[in-house]
Amino acid sequence: MKDEIEGVIFDLDGVLEFQGKAYPGAIELLNLLRSRGIPIRVLSNSTLKSRRSCAEKLKSKGFNIQEHEVVTASFATARYLETLNPRSCWVMLKREGLEEFSGFRHDPDDPEYIVLGDFREDFNFQNLNKALRLLCKGAKLIVMITETVDSSLGEMELTVGAYGKMLEDAAGIKATYIGKPNRYIFDITLDTMGNIERSRILMVGDRLATDILGAKNAGLKTALVKTGEFRESDLESPVALPDYIFDSVGEVAKLFR
Ligand SMILES: [Mg+2]
């Protein structure tokens, strides 16, 4: 069975690290996979991080990861937007994730597409109403992630999907969502992995509703780790059943021994 896995995609937060600290065995597992010549990708629903900034942070913690091996929701959204050949866009996003959108024409006053990521404190009265009016005038909405709540920094916060759903509802339109569990981000990640058969690629994640559900729908093998945002209650009426369940990421090495 173990010989079947020819590529591994890791979720980042709650799998390789949590609140900025690498999980025991995570760095060693990546090194083991490298020594076997198995392609690795890190797939994160972070919108604030670019491929570059995410890879740099991982390297500074001791992970052997290159920029081209990272896919963030901001990177995937930019690649998707590229396929639409947009006239102009308003990218509602902060920090390094914005680097991914440097190739587009930005026009916040008359955009063809509104692209919604984590806009932090700029999700305010003025900007949200401006977005609403632009959508009612015909702008199209792309939302980087579906999730409505983020607890990764400790306290619960509304996140990107919540603003996306509010704008969809208020403007009476339908948005396109890119991040896990949506198909777009998986297809974009798999595109970077060459010609490996999907059923031979393993997705390792801590969330059934995003990592595992999305990976199963994309035709991948799945491993759930009971770290990060995992709760035992997730398994009571699971939205998707993983092929493997491990206590933590270090145990995934068992599949490769
Ligand atoms: Mg996670």
At 64 the pLDDT is: 94
Q: What pLDDT digit, counting tens, does each position of 50-70 carry?
A: 999 999 999 999 999 999 999
Question: How many angstroms separate the alpha carbon of residue 13 from the centre of ligand 1?
Answer: 4
Question: Which domains occur in the chain, in start order?
Answer: 2-45+180-256 (3.40.50.1000), 85-177 (3.40.50.1000)
At 3 the pLDDT is: 58
CA–CA separation, 110 and 62 (whole Å):
44
3-state secondary structure of 42: strand
Beta bridge partners of 70: 42
Positions in the chain short of pLDDT 50 = 1-2
Question: How many angstroms separate the alpha carbon of residue 128 from the centre of ligand 1?
Answer: 28
What residues are neighbours of ligand 1 (ion), with CB under 5 Å? 11, 13-14, 206, 228
Question: How many angstroms separate the alpha carbon of residue 238 from the centre of ligand 1?
Answer: 16
